[in-house]
Amino acid sequence: MIRRFEASTRRSEIFTGNLEQITRRSEQITRRSEQITRNVEQITRRFENNTRQFEQVTWHLE
């Protein structure tokens, strides 16, 4: 009976450890995703600025 309890306790500890590892990895992925989103937003703003500058130059050349 004690051995079953010890085995069950050990499985629970392993399961808890796995959940903690999954949680940490999920948090890392979330932070990376947020960073990528910020990078895409920055690239989009640069692209829009470059497009406006190009349109101004084109307008002056006409």
Model confidence over 4-60: pLDDT tens digits? 999 999 999 999 999 999 999 999 999 999 999 999 999 999 999 999 999 999 988
The CA-based angle 34-38-40, given to 5 degrees, is 115
pTM above 0.85, yes or no: no
Work out how many domains the chain is built from and give that number: 1
Q: Show the DSSP H helices in the chain as ranges.
A: 2-61
Residue 61 banded pLDDT, cuts 50, 70, 90: confident
pLDDT for residue 62 is more than 80: no
- The whole-angstrom distance between residue 57's C-alpha and the CA centroid of its chain comes to 38
Residue span of the structural domain in which 46 resides? 1-62
Query: How far separated are the first and last CA of the chain, in Å rounded?
Result: 90
pLDDT at position 40 is 99
pLDDT at position 2 is 87
